[in-house]
Structure 1
């Protein structure tokens, strides 16, 4: 009976088992802090910095999905936000907590699958995702959108940073159907402006663009292989 599909949740779990990298994959990924992964830097995304500089974002309650080693969560905290930062990997959160202590800021780091979060409706002013969405399989996309909608207050902001389709950092150029034929996300799905606009059509679009390339090391992070997008809940 264990592998019998009774309902929609059983179907999602079965598809997850075919595609999702296990938690130990991400723990191993973050265990070597010296490898040359661009976003291992300790600087916030250039688009995020810009949202504050342009007064789009103000201090409030923030949910970050897939926070990794905490660089953006720490920036939110430095800006006076109450931040809940979620990740599956204990190794990434250990690193993030060390960084937060070094910066003397308070961040509530949560080890959890984002689809198992217990969120009260309309809790957050901002939902931020830098690098989580392109690892979300197509069958979980509706759950992801519903999570963001539930989390946000009316007129709350949702910002995302993800792989450009065919970009130098990744961004598989495959269709949603091909994901299941291959039983693989090919390291992360790639997106175009048009595809993001279509997927998040239930939100008000504020900006979709390529991330600015910024030579590292720097106080802000930016690479051209990523797309950035900012939406607002109706």
Structure 2
């Protein structure tokens, strides 16, 4: 890595490197052990996503999922009439997702990529969905994340995400953006409040922000009140 900053992109990469030095977490290793007792390893969609679709708050169209992992939400959306592009940088996670899609006879366009290297058509998606990716985005990448969501959405399209509650039992570090760099760590993922999400995504209309509903292990849906579920709408006119 070169150590001279000539551009904004150089600055972002330097900050990526600064945080990565302290991180030993590897998503391929994480997904390689499919027997881990992790609730979201089950092939069950998020309960909020199911509600949006079953109650027709969001109509079927073209969807982009950011950080799809083993594909549980992408497969659900595709099974309910969506044309889905599902992105993840983990080869292991996507291999599992493709196996699941094949088993269910579902067609999903799985893409292995860092979301910030993703080339997408502008204003192409009716829904951008993120289940657990955003809280792992470092603060210096947040503006790029917001730009990606806004670029992807059609006028009238929806952006939905689930993320750690501030100080939640599953994670959600209660630290400032500055503290991330002082400690060179995101402490497993940042926590958010309703107010903070509204502030970050202020260019979009807030439709709803609530805690996810706790779902029993035998349920066909995933849900935990340790996560927030947020739904926003792009009211930009064509």
TM-score normalised to the size of structure 1? 0.97
Distance in 1, matches of 2:24 and 2:111, equals 14
The aligned residue for residue 75 of structure 2 is 74
The aligned residue for residue 7 of structure 2 is 7
The aligned residue for residue 131 of structure 1 is 132
SS of the residue 2:86 aligns to:
strand
User: How far off is 1:8 after superposition?
Assistant: 0.3
- 8 Å Cα contact 1:164-1:171 kept in structure 2: yes
User: How far off is 1:72 after superposition?
Assistant: 0.1
The aligned residue for residue 177 of structure 1 is 178
- 8 Å Cα contact 1:61-1:125 kept in structure 2: yes
- 8 Å Cα contact 1:23-1:89 kept in structure 2: no
Asked if 1:232 corresponds to 2:233, the answer is yes
Is the alpha carbon distance of 1:195 and 1:169 closer, same or farther for their aligned partners in structure 2, counting shifts above 3 Å?
Answer: same
Is the alpha carbon distance of 1:153 and 1:23 closer, same or farther for their aligned partners in structure 2, counting shifts above 3 Å?
Answer: farther
Structure 1 residue runs without a partner (length 5+): none
Over aligned residue pairs, what C-alpha RMSD do you find? Answer: 1.4
User: How far off is 1:217 after superposition?
Assistant: 2.5
Distance in 2, matches of 1:109 and 1:49, equals 21
Distance in 2, matches of 1:24 and 1:189, equals 15
- 8 Å Cα contact 1:67-1:73 kept in structure 2: yes
The aligned residue for residue 120 of structure 2 is 119
Distance in 2, matches of 1:37 and 1:89, equals 17
Distance in 2, matches of 1:102 and 1:50, equals 24
Is the alpha carbon distance of 1:38 and 1:148 closer, same or farther for their aligned partners in structure 2, counting shifts above 3 Å?
Answer: same
User: How far off is 1:106 after superposition?
Assistant: 0.2
What is the count of residue pairs matched by the alignment? 234
CA deviation profile, 1:37-57 (whole Å, cap 9, x unmatched):
121111000000000122111
User: How far off is 1:60 after superposition?
Assistant: 0.5
CA deviation profile, 1:140-184 (whole Å, cap 9, x unmatched):
000000000000000110001001111111111111110000101
The aligned residue for residue 40 of structure 1 is 41
SS of the residue 1:120 aligns to:
coil
- 8 Å Cα contact 1:23-1:88 kept in structure 2: no
Distance in 2, matches of 1:158 and 1:61, equals 12
SS of the residue 1:177 aligns to:
helix
Distance in 1, matches of 2:10 and 2:58, equals 38
Distance in 2, matches of 1:19 and 1:151, equals 27
The aligned residue for residue 217 of structure 1 is 218
Is the alpha carbon distance of 1:108 and 1:24 closer, same or farther for their aligned partners in structure 2, counting shifts above 3 Å?
Answer: farther
User: How far off is 1:20 after superposition?
Assistant: 4.2
